[in-house]
Each structure stands twice: as C-alpha cells, then as structure tokens.
Amino acid sequence: MASKEATIYILDVGATMRTKREGQNVSRLEETKGVLLKLLANKVHMNRKTVYVSVVLVGSDITKNQLATVDEDGNADYQNVDVLQELGVATLELMKGVQDDVNVGEAMGDCLDGLIVSLDMMTKFCKKLKYEKKIYILTDASSQINQDGTDTILASVREDNVEINVIGTDFDSEDGEPKPKTETQAANEAFYKEMAQGARGDVFSLDEAKQLTEEFYTKKVKPTAVYRGTLDLGDPEDHPDASLSIPVHMYPSTMVAKIPTAKKYSVLSENAAVEDLVGDGRTGIVNLSRTYKLKVTADMASGDSEAEEVTEVPEEALEKAYMYGKTIIPIRAVDLDAFKLRTAKSMTILGFFSASTFRREWLLSNIYSVFPAPGDGRAEVDLLGFVFALHEKNSYALVRYVRAEDAEPKLGILWPEITEEHKCFYFGQVAFSEDVRRYLFASLTEIHTASGKKLEKHRLLATEESIAACKEFIGSLDLMKADDGEEYLKPKTTFNPATQRQKQALEYRALNPTKDLPPIPDSLIAQLMPRQDLLAETQLYADKLIQLWDIKKIDQPQKNKRGYGASLGEDGEKEGVAQTSSGAEASTTASLIDGLTGNPSSKRHKSESVFGTASTASVAGGVGRASAFGGSGQTGLGRGDMAASGMIQFEMNAVREIRTSDPVKDFQDMVRIATIQSQQGVRPAGAGFITVSMAVEQMQAMITKLFSTSFGDQLYEKAIECLKSLRQFLADADMADMVHGGTGFEGKGKTATNMPEKTRETIQSRVETWNTFIKEVKATALNTATSPPRADFWELINKSRKELGLLTIKDVPAGCGGASEDEAEKLWAETSDTDMPLHVEDAEAPEEDDLLALMD
Amino acid sequence: MSASWRSNYDNNEEEDGDDGIVTDAQETQWRSRDSILFVIDCSPAMLQPAEDGEIPFYKAIKCAMTVQMNKIISSDSDLVGIMLYGTKKSKNLTNFENIYVLQDLDAPDVNKIQQLEGIDDRTIDFDEEFGTSDGKYTLGEVFWTASNLFGSSAQRIGSKRMFLLTNEDDPHRGDISLRSASKVRAKDLQDFGIKIELFDIDKPNEQFDRSLFYRDILLGGFDDDEEEREEAENTNAKLGELLQRVQRKEVKKRSLFNIPLKLGPGLEFGVKGYNLVMSQKKGTHRNVYTLGEAVREVETVTSWICADTTQYITPTDLKYFWEFGGTKVVFTKEEVAAMKTFGPPGLALIGFKDRESVPMQLNILHSMFLYPDEQSYEGSTRAFSSLLTAMAEMDKIAICSFTQRKNYSTRLVALIPQLEVVSEHGQELPPGFQLIPLPWADDLRPLPIQTDYRPPTELIESAKAIISKLNMKKGFKPDNYENPTLQKHYKVLQATALNQQDMDIDDKTLPKTKQMHERAGAYIQNYKDVAGGVDLPVHENASVLTASLKRASQSQASEASQGSKRAKSTQPADDDGLRQEMQEKYDNGELKKATVATLKQFLVSVQRPHGGKKDELIAQVEQYFAP
C-alpha cells in the first residue's frame, strides 16, 4: 500500500526470556528475536521511504525513553524501557542491532509501560497525518502488568486507530493443545487477548508467528490505472448521437513481478589499499563509460589495416540511423519525430466475433482488466450492458488500443468477466500479422510412402494401445482434486522460487556477510517437482508406457541422426542398421561441406560468436573429419573426435581457398580433399562434385586476377602454371570417374559403352569448362578496351599451346564431347573469335587494393 | 538475426546484471542467416494469363518482392536472390543459355525491390530485358547455376533453400538424357545442403502432376539439422494461393530449444520448442557519424570504471550487489546466477488438469509450441503423438515445470493439446502442444473494483443487437492486421532512402467508422436511449477502488504476519488516483519520472504552489508527502 506506515515492535527482554521452551535449544528471547528479525526484514525488503519502524525493549538493563522520570521521592516511572530505535526507516543496522546487541535483562519489564512509551512516540511522530499505525508486542507474558488506566489507554488506542498485535511465546495456538504456563502467564494472555481484540489486532502464539513469517508472501502492488480514457464504439465524429464513449479505467491483472536487478560492484575497490582510494572511501560503485569509434568496414580492412586507425567520435556528433535491408538510413531526431505515426489516446471497438473462433496462443502478453471509471454510475451502466451481452452471446470484442497520445497502437480483445463480486472486461493484447510465424509441421497421424500410400502402422505412429495406456496414465495423475480435494497448484498458490530465494539470500548475506549461502530449502522448490505421493499411484501406468514406447536416448544426436525422409516407406523392422548408417553419412557429408564452404552448423556458429574465434576452428573440424575419413576408412562413428582435436587444422587452412601465394598447391589440395571425400563417401551421386567445381571456379578467378592485375609480366608465369594445372585436372578422366566412385575401368582409351552415364557427363562438363574458360582468357587478354592490354600474356599461352589448347575429341574418351581439330586450331588465330561471346563486364576489373596486395 | 524476433534488448543490455543469462535476443543475434533463391520459369505458359487474368510469372515476381519486403522487417540480414530461366537473354557467370540471374543472393535492398516493382508494373519491359526462349532451357544447368550462386556467396549462410516456381510439370519431356541430367544436378544440390521447395502452379484446365517428374527430385533430401521429415505437402497448386504458400515457407523453421519432457522416473522423450507468436519490434537504431566524407557507422565501446580507484574493471573483477536496508549486500556472479536456477533444462510433468483451469486471464507471456524431437530420443514421435491424442480426447492439459535452457529461470507452464487441422488450403494448425507460461501468485493482481450491479435485461438485449450487427463472421485473424507502427517506420525509411514524398500508410487497425455507423448507428442510438432510462447503480462507498482492494488483499496468506490484516479504509472519497500515483512515485523515489503536467496537476489539486521548473515542482511534492 502506498500509504504511510508506522510500526513499533515491543520486545520483552525480561529475565524470564532467558529460559528455553520445551524441546527448543535456544532461549525464548532468541526464538522471539528470530521472528522479530523476519518481521523487520520484510519491512526492509519493502524499501520504501514512508515505512517507519521502531524497536522498544522492555525489561532492559538500560532505561532510555522520553517518558522516564524519577521524582523527588525516588519513585521511578517507565524504567527498563529502552527505545532501541525511534520511528525511522528500517535499516540493516537496526536488524544487526537486534541480532547482536539485544540481550536478556536482569529486571522484569512491564509491557504496558512499553506500550505507553510507544503510543506516545507514535502520537508525536504521526501527529494528525494519515498513517497505518501498528504495534507488535513480543513477550513471554511472565512479568506482572500494572493494569491501572488500561481503559484510558485503550480508548486512546482506538481513537488513534492503532492496531495492536501480541505474539506470546507460551500462548496457546488456535488449533493446538493448551500449553503449560504459569498463573501470571495465563492471566496476562487473557488480558492481551482482550486488549488486542479491542484494538483491531490479534494474538499469536510464537509457533504461529514463526510459521507465518516463514510463509511465502508476495509484494503487494497498488492498482494503478494504466489507461484512464474512454472505450469508444461507432462514429463519434460525424454521429455523436449514434456512438458510445464510455469512461473506463484499465488496470494490470497479471504482470511479471521481476526480481530487482543486481547492480555491479567493483572488486578493485574491495581490494584497493586505502591510499589508492579517491573520494568517499569504499563504495564499490561501478561507473559506465561509453566511447564511440568509427566502424572499420570489411573493404577498408582488407585494404591496408595500418592506415585505418581507430577514430573516436564525440557522442554529440552521432546521428541515429536505421537499416532498410542493406541500406543504412540516417534520420535526424527531429525528422524521426515528424515521421512518427500520429495516434490519439483511445480504446476503440473494431468489431465483435464469436469466442470459438479465437485461438489463445494469439495472446501476446499479460492481461489487464477494464472497469467503468470509479464512481461514474453512467459509465457502469453503459459498460456492463456490453459485459453481460458479450457474455450471453459468448463473444469477444476486438479493440484498437492507444495508451497515450502518439503511442503505438495495439490490437487487443475484450472478454467479459462476471462473478458475484466483479463485473468487468479483461483485455489481452493480440498478435499483428507480423507477429505470427506460419510454420508447417509434419503430420503426426499421416505418413505416406513415396508412392503416396498412407501407412497404418509405422514406428512413428501412435497405436490404439499406447493412446489407451496414456489415458490411464493421465487419469491417474489428475491434479484437480489432488490438494485435499481441491485443485493443486492453482496459480494464486504458487510462488516464484527465484523471488523467495533472492530475498532469503539477501537477508542471510546481510546478517552473515562472510558465510556461504545456505542451500536451497526443499520447501522452495516443492512446487516445481512431481509429487511423490502422486507418482507412487501412477507408477503402474507409467511402467506400461515405458514398456510400450521403448524410448531410447540418443547420446550423439548429430551422428545418429535419423532422416525422416529416408525412413519413409521403409519397413519398421528392417530399418535399424541401414537407417543409422545412412543417417551418419548424411550428417558427415553435411558437416564436411559446411566445413569447406565456411558454413558451419548453427550451433557452432553460435559458440564462435561467443568466443569470437571466427571460423577456423569449425572449418578445421570439417576437414578433420574428411581426412580421417579418407585416410583410414574408419566407420562412421567416432569421427568427430578427430575433428574435435583440431589436429589437421594446418592442412585445412591451406585448402580453404585458393590464395595468391601458391595457387597451384592450394588448388591441388582442395581438389584432392574433395575427391577423397566423394570417393570414400558412400553417396554415389558425387557429393563432392560441387566442391570440386568450387575449386575450379576459384582457380579460374585466380588466373584471371593474376594476369589481369599483373604489374607488367610479373605474375604471368604463375598464371600459366595455374592454367596448366587446371587443364591437367579437367582433362583427367580418371579424376572425374573417381568422383563418382566408379571402379569398373582403368586407363585411357575407354569408351562410353562401359562408362557410367554420370561419369561421362562429368567428363564432358569438365572438358567444356576448360574450353570455355580458355576462350574467355583469350577474349579478356586480347580485349583492347582493357588497360593495360594483355596481348603479351596470350603470346605466352601461345607458346605452350600444346599444354594449354582446347581439349579435343582426341584428348577425351569417346562420347565425352571435346572440340574438333579445326576449332582447336582456330583458338590460336590472331584475333578474337567473332562467334565467341565477349563478356567484358564479367571479367573482374582489377582493384587497386588487390594490386597492392599482389605486389608485396 | 534471422528467423526470430528482434527485441529491444540491446538498449538496456548494460543495465542488466544477468550476464550469465542468454536472452532470446542474444541468441537471435547469433543465428546464422537464411537464404532463399527464387528460381522462376519464364516459359510461354508462365506468361499466359490464368482464368482470373493473373499471369503466373508476374505473380511469382510479386511473391519474391513480398518476401524481400517482409525480410526487411523481420530479418534484414537474410539473403534473397532471383534467377529466371527459359529466358531469351542470358546472364550468368558460366554463360549458360536461357538463364538470367536477376539478383545475386544478398540482403534485401531498396534497389532490388525497386527492380522487382519495375518488372511488376511493366516499366521494365519483359520482352526487351529478358524475353522468353519459348520453352528452351536445360534444367540441369539451372540447378548448377543455382548451386554456384549459393556456393559463391561470401556470406556465411545458415540455411539454403531454392524456391522453384513453375507450371511445367513435365520438363524435357521425352529427352531421357536431359531429364536424368536434371535429376543428378538436383541431387547434387541437396547433397550440398540446398533444399528445393517446389511451388507448382496449375496451368489453365490442367493440374500440375508431380508424379511426372518432380517427385523424384524432391524426395530424399536432407534438410540440414532441422526437419527430418517432409512437411505436410500441399496438394493445392492454384495460382491464387501462390503468395500464401510462399509466405508460409518464407521463414526458415527453426527451433528455440530442444529438451526432454519427463513424464516420470525413467519415462522421458525429446521435444523441440518453437516461437510461433511473438511481438515483432522495430529494428534497433544504429549510431552513425555523418560529418565525415561518407556516412560511417559508429561502434559503441562500453567499459566499466571503478569509482573508488578510477581503474578500468575487467569482468572478473565484478561482483553484484543489492541494496538492503541502506547497505550494499554483495554476491558473486555465480551466486546471483544460482538464485534463479532450479534444475537442468527440461519439462517435468507434475500432473493433468481440466482445460478450464487455465483461463485466458491467466496469460502472462506469449506462448510457445512443442513438437516431438526424434533425434534426441528415439521413439519420441510415437510417445508424443500418443500423449497428444489422449489428452485431446480427454480434454486435459498438462502442468509442467519448465526450464528452457541452462541458467534460465524456471516457470510453471500448461501444455494444451492441439490436433492437426488440414483444410483445402493445406495445414491450418500444426499438431503439437501449445506451451502457455503460467503466472505465479507474485504476478497476479486482484481485480480492484467490486460491484453487484446487474444491468436490466432490456439493456443487455439492446447491446446484443449491436453485437450481432457488428459481428465479424470469420472472427479475428492476425493476418488481416498489419502493425501500423512497423509499416509506418519502414515506409518512412523507404521513402527517405528513395527520396519519395509519400509516407502515408493504410492503417488497417483503424475502425471502419462509416460502415459501422451504417450497420449499427441506429442500434447504438437505441442502446443509449435505453441506458438513459436506467436507474444508476448506487454504491454506499464511493471509493470502490480502495475498499475492495483492501478486502481482496486480505485473502493473502501472509497478511497476519505483515500486520496489515485489518487495514482501515480512510482514504478520502475524492481520492482520484492521481494522489496515489504521486505517493507511489514519492515512496519509490521516482518523482523525476513524472511529467511536469502531472506534477502541476497534482499540486493544484492539493492547493500547493505549482510554479517553476520541474525540480521545484518535485521539491513541492516531496514537501507535501514528507512526514
């Protein structure tokens, strides 16, 4: 509650509090102090400036209060009453004081003295202002009470609206056995009871109080309307008569109660020598510092990393920008404001619809309640008419809600709530089109074979038997009456364990700064666990499900991945072994390709981002696997270990891409890895082909780059070597055959008849690739539009025409394409062929950066 | 950032002490990109208008455009490319004929959308730019070029999908070698991790028959780590539904978590969780420096400084504290993390309840969706499916405790069974459990106002007439309402980027007041007349809010220990909420958050001086509340 509170705790520390209760190993005082500390802790947790507490000790050896007097005759009033803290904010210091410095006194104190001192303090503090005033008396009720003037005291208590509660160590619990007690205690108990009841309070036994303070409680939040406005229907602008505008208030009905966020604390401050401290000693405060520097974009970085120094810019010079796809669009703050969607504060009904058409997963967040504006009878009539009508029609209203002027419009639905006490609407925000993902999921009841036949039995399909067993299981574990005939785990009886744990830990650490935190009490997490008593009842049915389902945990899901597609149409019995191995293959192939192309799986990607170690590790993983694969022909399992060790990282780095330093070797390595992989891989269709073609493409690009960016003829020789290497590879039919795992023929001179169709095709495409490429090289080199012209490079090629000419039908197995002799000769003609397309725009224009990079 | 929703998390990252906790948003950032390559057939049949006058080719272009625009909003780092085949002109790196790479795989961009707009509105002339080759093309080369496009993309790609849009169900008819070559290439694509999604389109009076050719191409493909089974296949190839079909596949399905569902000791299976509904936010802004030669993006470097020693602090030198009774109580990072973790990731069944026990008003966070995970536990699908069917038939829900992943806090959730619903449009509802997070008692607020008033039947009947008149027959469907804030935001960005003037959007959430008036104006008028004749309810205590609140809170178990069991209701009757608001702000030291207008309004209402600057106003309010 947001009103101000003043609470005074009167703690009896009289001599009799030293004694222990039966069965306890600490004194009555220690037990009572425990309860008081808990009560104080709750006040501290509230952390509010307007919650005031005071602790008054009665029976103390010290007398410290404003009423204490000793008259001339030596008659002393209000002795042994010690005000430990005047009404003030609840602090940890006060708690520590109670814990460490409050001891049993020698004397016996009169709690009524304490009460009068407290009331006096209360009156002076609160004056006539509005306070919630409470007094707690914690006592063993053993000392004599001077009951003089009790009536007057109580009258003033009532007048001042003070609530008095008494916690007695030996009081009887409401539903317990009467406790042994002295005559005085019994008399006092009766007296306190009457007094408390007269002051709107109550009496509690210590055990009751302990239990209550141990109970979880929630932080009370004052209902604050988040929207005070109107609920509109119709066209108020043009037809005010025929439209409604009902004043309503909207309050949160559910709202995530967040644990306050812990703030950062500096260990440096903790450990620093005194002389190193500046300012106000050891505060542990951590300050945030933000600086801004210009981002170095990729193209700049590749140019010259030295030149691009880190440039800091002042915060004032920053502008905001948003991404529109790839484009970054700076928008000045004023413009941003000007372009904002203008809206008026409102809640408007867009229409009504039947409740049955609504899906609850469209609710996006927490729920609010909508009431007629308090005290507005007209609004109540207008609104409740619709509450009841929607209820009777089992319908909801769709509304557009704008919290405040220019706030973002939201869509929500209103649905009626009618109980004995409450009549209102609930409001729940619902999804916009952009908020919904429309994924498709495979059916769980329909499985079709490749030929389209629907399967009735399959290892993935539920059976009548297992559904029936499930129903028995469900029936045996019903919570609707599990809590002594009541529903178990109603949300209002469940408490967030994290909130409670944080409070506990905070209290404990505050009072015991050097100790480790106590373990999590079972009571805290009991609600998160299955209940043992229910489990016992359900065991029979659970066992049956275990047996029926025969679920196996798969330890390495990556390797034993089971393709659903592959399982289609297969017999459930036979699929075991074959299935697993083909799954393994697929995943290995996939990860290999991922490795080579720098597309690690999403999981790896994630960890990289965390550690910022970029792609080398995962790429090494990919080829590590490949090498293990090709090298020793291990079985599918256990390959990952090799990869994990990263031992082949070096080799991997060498073949990830073709680089200028030694392109021929890079190319050969890359091709070799790809070939080994596809040769050893059981997949017949040439899983590695794409990878090989990538190597070829990269090589082509490298060659073009080399000769077209060469400074003079510096890089020509290298380019020629590359060309030779490329042609050699593309001309080699055996290589092509290996890709397809062919085994049927050796040597040259083979014919198309004994050659698999795929191999023939591959050879043909490779031959074409070379022939096309060398023509392209010619066109680029002889193109007079480029500067400088590279005719000299073509001359050089011409000199090696035997090794670099077109691949002719003579060079390749029959039926695998190849150019004619005439065509081959034509390549060496002076000018570029007219029938050959010239794609100047496709040739990579030399970039200055690359040129520089090549020169060093 | 693809495939999931952005959040505004970045803005308050620094303020959040939960470094050990991985939020959805962070996770999202680590996600790799998705890529989609549209491969569109330009054969003459694709250029023939269908019955409804729509031309398949242009419809396909529209689909590609819509996907690009959606990507800009939902995940602007995803890659989209467009390739035409069966064109007269060619444009591709390998110089294949009849293949025209219109847009390389790259993040969506203004220019790319403009280009598509140009094709769509015919300002880019099809015949002139591309032309049709009258059905001449080699499908194998199309696939090859597609794989090259994926392979040559410099970007790191998470998923690769090729959307093939064609109405030719029997390409290369009669040419066995070309057909088999196409199949080999298609297989290569799949081996390379590229999934082919076929969007088949019926020709007029001729249904697309997958069995003629495409079935062989589509079967047997593994789809990286995600779905092992072909999704419910759409048998409908109507042109009119093409866009809808493309949009359903537009976002790569990606699970959020992958955990065991424990039904009891020794009885557990694997489930995957998905976010199917979640609030889509605007992209977060970036800081740029515009005073230099070009607009440059700015990186924010955040560092921490110890106030006492003025040294920079490394993360290992950080502890955490809460203020408790005026003292800083310090914990290690591990201690803080351990406070909210109550078990390993998983769903633990506690028991079953009736569906009605979790009404809509107990919603607290958005829902998630569960589907079996056969890859972590063999037999999960059958077990999941059995449980789903049994619960659906018994109309029961399951109550579980749920820890999404390591170091996440634990919550109680309800699992609501959802059986598959298939209509002629394909899958309407997927089979699985809706996971509904439940509120704790801590999260519940009592209803603040009580009344026993019941309006007269006449009034209720009058309201029912209005409801009937304004009934939306098909109910509410999110698809019909685009978020105007997002639409406006991106429209403004687009207009700024293209230097356009038009920044107006069509706000679909505005009430159609004119139609509403025509349909129900008279009925609303009648309702007002009837209500005008009704006696107003009388409440003895005008301060309903305060009184009922007190009563409601009495039911709290711990009231006695808190001592506020019998709170009095001495709030003045004219208490208008403003006072409470101020008091609350004062108590929590949040007066600074109040607006000047509110502060003034309050000071006027309590007859205090209300002039001056904000600081002075706050001082006045503080003075008012000070004891």
Per-residue pLDDT tens over the stretch B263-283? 999 899 999 999 999 898 887
- For an interface test with A, give the residue of B34, B222, B332, B584 to mutate (most A CBs within 10 A): B222
Q: Mean pLDDT across the stretch B241-258?
A: 81
Residue with tokens 């009156």: A123
Residues in chain B with CB shorter than 8 Å from the CB of A93 are 325-327
Kindly report which listed range (A345-359, B63-77, B106-120) carries the lowest average pLDDT score: B63-77
Is B417 within 8 Å of B391 (Cβ atoms)? yes
**Pick from B409, B483, B466, B485: nearest CA to B443:** B409
| pLDDT > 70 in chain B, percent | 85
Q: Which class for B125: exposed (0-12), middle (13-18), buried (19 or more C-beta within 10 A)?
A: exposed
pLDDT above 90 (res A118): yes
Q: Which class for B319: exposed (0-12), middle (13-18), buried (19 or more C-beta within 10 A)?
A: buried
| Domain definitions of chain B by residue range | 33-250, 257-277+345-443, 288-338, 457-532, 576-627
Q: Searching chain A, which residue's CA lies closest to the CA of residue B372?
A: A444
CATH T-level fold of B33-250: Rossmann fold (3.40.50)
- Cα–Cα distance measured from residue A451 to residue B427, given in angstroms and rounded to the nearest whole number: 21
Helix (H, G, I), strand (E, B), or coil: what is residue B371? strand
- For an interface test with B, give the residue of A227, A439, A658 to mutate (most B CBs within 10 A): A439
- CA A206, distance to chain mean position in Å, is 44
Q: Give the CA count within 13 Å in the CB-facing half-sphere of A52.
A: 18
CA-to-CA dists, residue A700 to A72, A693, B176, angstroms: 115, 10, 32
Q: Give the CA count within 13 Å in the CB-facing half-sphere of A236.
A: 12
- Cα–Cα distance measured from residue A32 to residue A41, given in angstroms and rounded to the nearest whole number: 14
**Partner residues linked to A412 by β-bridges:** A399, A429
Contact call for B471 and A395, based on CB within 8 A: yes
Q: If you ran DSSP here, which 8-state letter would residue B361 be given?
A: G
End-to-end Cα distance, chain A: 75
Q: Mean pLDDT across the stretch B336-362?
A: 92
- Cα–Cα distance measured from residue B190 to residue A108, given in angstroms and rounded to the nearest whole number: 90
Cβ count within 10 A of residue A675 = 21
Residues in chain A with CB shorter than 8 Å from the CB of B468 are 393
A339: nearest CB among B432, B471, B492: B492
pLDDT above 70 (res A592): no
Structural tokens at position B248? 């359903």
Kindly report which listed range (A214-228, B25-39, B485-499) carries the lowest average pLDDT score: B25-39
The structural architecture, per CATH, of the domain B457-532 is Orthogonal Bundle (1.10)
Residue type, A424: C
- For an interface test with A, give the residue of B75, B149, B280, B306 to mutate (most A CBs within 10 A): B306
- pLDDT tens, residue by residue, B300-335: 888 898 888 888 888 888 999 999 988 899 999 989
Residues in chain B with CB shorter than 8 Å from the CB of A562 are 228, 374-375, 378
- A675 pLDDT band, cuts 50/70/90, is low
- For an interface test with B, give the residue of A551, A561, A844 to mutate (most B CBs within 10 A): A551
Residues 6+ positions from A187 with CB-CB distance below 8 Å: none
- B6 pLDDT band, cuts 50/70/90, is very low
Q: Searching chain A, which residue's CA lies closest to the CA of residue B77?
A: A325
Residues 6+ positions from A171 with CB-CB distance below 8 Å: A141, A179, A189, A203, A204, A205, A206
Of B8 and A433, the structure prediction assigns the larger pLDDT to A433
pLDDT above 80 (res B226): no
Of A597 and B246, the structure prediction assigns the larger pLDDT to B246
A74 to chain B, closest Cα gap in Å: 38
- Cα–Cα distance measured from residue B69 to residue B366, given in angstroms and rounded to the nearest whole number: 25
- Cα–Cα distance measured from residue B166 to residue B42, given in angstroms and rounded to the nearest whole number: 8
> Dihedrals φ, ψ of A228, to 5°?
-120, 105
Of B53 and B274, the structure prediction assigns the larger pLDDT to B274
Buried b (16+ CB within 10 A) or exposed e, A344-377: eebbbbbbbbbbeebbebbbbbbbbbbbbbbbbb
Cβ count within 10 A of residue A71 = 8
pLDDT above 90 (res A661): no
pLDDT above 60 (res A260): yes
Structural tokens at position A606? 């994630």
Kindly report which listed range (A498-512, A754-768, B522-536) carries the lowest average pLDDT score: A754-768
pLDDT above 70 (res A485): yes
- Predicted pLDDT at B156: 66
Is B361 within 8 Å of A253 (Cβ atoms)? yes
Residues 6+ positions from A395 with CB-CB distance below 8 Å: A352, A353, A354, A355, B467, B471
Instruction: Count, in order, helices (H) and strands (E) of chain B.
Output: 19, 20
Residues in chain B with CB shorter than 8 Å from the CB of A265 are 318-321, 328, 330
- Cα–Cα distance measured from residue B431 to residue B273, given in angstroms and rounded to the nearest whole number: 13
- Predicted pLDDT at A172: 87
B33-250 and B257-277+345-443 share one fold: no
> Dihedrals φ, ψ of A342, to 5°?
-85, 130
- Cα–Cα distance measured from residue A29 to residue A779, given in angstroms and rounded to the nearest whole number: 102
- pLDDT tens, residue by residue, B155-170: 667 788 899 999 998 8
- A715 pLDDT band, cuts 50/70/90, is confident
- Predicted pLDDT at B437: 96
Q: What is the DSSP string of A166-222?
A: EEETTPPPTTSPPPP--HHHHHHHHHHHHHHHHTT--EEEHHHHHHHHHS-------
- B540 pLDDT band, cuts 50/70/90, is low
Is B38 within 8 Å of B115 (Cβ atoms)? no
Tell me which range, A187-201, B381-395, B482-496, is most confidently predicted by mean pLDDT.
Answer: B381-395
Helix (H), strand (E) at residue B526 = helix B513-532
Ordered alpha helix ranges (H), B75-138: 110-120, 126-129
Q: If you ran DSSP here, which 8-state letter would residue B503 be given?
A: -
- A152 pLDDT band, cuts 50/70/90, is confident
Q: Mean pLDDT across the stretch A637-645?
A: 33
- Predicted pLDDT at B519: 92
Cβ count within 10 A of residue A57 = 26
Residues 6+ positions from A571 with CB-CB distance below 8 Å: none
- Cα–Cα distance measured from residue A736 to residue A758, given in angstroms and rounded to the nearest whole number: 9
Q: Which class for B227: exposed (0-12), middle (13-18), buried (19 or more C-beta within 10 A)?
A: buried
pLDDT above 60 (res B560): no
Residue type, A68: A
- B114 pLDDT band, cuts 50/70/90, is confident
- pLDDT tens, residue by residue, A417-449: 999 999 999 999 999 998 998 888 888 988 776
Is B139 within 8 Å of B182 (Cβ atoms)? yes
A134 to chain B, closest Cα gap in Å: 7
Q: Searching chain A, which residue's CA lies closest to the CA of residue B153?
A: A597
Phi-psi region of A59 (alpha: psi -120 to 50; beta: other; left: phi over 0): left
- Predicted pLDDT at A669: 77
Buried b (16+ CB within 10 A) or exposed e, B253-286: bbbbbbbbbbbbeebbbbbbbbbbbbbbbbbebb
- B370 pLDDT band, cuts 50/70/90, is very high
CA-to-CA dists, residue B607 to A226, B268, B359, B602, B610, angstroms: 25, 67, 46, 9, 8
- A162 pLDDT band, cuts 50/70/90, is very high
Contact call for A602 and B264, based on CB within 8 A: no
pLDDT above 70 (res B229): no
- Cα–Cα distance measured from residue B589 to residue B118, given in angstroms and rounded to the nearest whole number: 58
Mean pLDDT (chain A, rounded): 77
Q: Mean pLDDT across the stretch A356-366?
A: 94
- pLDDT tens, residue by residue, A523-541: 888 889 888 888 888 999 9
Q: Mean pLDDT across the stretch A59-71?
A: 85
- pLDDT tens, residue by residue, A716-769: 888 888 898 888 888 876 665 555 544 434 444 444 456 677 777 888 888 888
Of B72 and A306, the structure prediction assigns the larger pLDDT to B72
Residues in chain B with CB shorter than 8 Å from the CB of A490 are 357
- Cα–Cα distance measured from residue A720 to residue A706, given in angstroms and rounded to the nearest whole number: 9
**Pick from B601, B595, B609: nearest CA to B578:** B601
| pLDDT > 90 in chain B, percent | 38
**Pick from A36, A492, A141: nearest CA to B561:** A36
CATH T-level fold of B257-277+345-443: Ku70; Chain: A; Domain 2 (2.40.290)
Is B192 within 8 Å of B35 (Cβ atoms)? no
pLDDT above 90 (res B9): no
- Cα–Cα distance measured from residue A830 to residue B156, given in angstroms and rounded to the nearest whole number: 44
Is A518 within 8 Å of B344 (Cβ atoms)? no
pLDDT above 80 (res A35): yes
- Cα–Cα distance measured from residue A410 to residue A430, given in angstroms and rounded to the nearest whole number: 8
Q: Mean pLDDT across the stretch A207-236?
A: 87
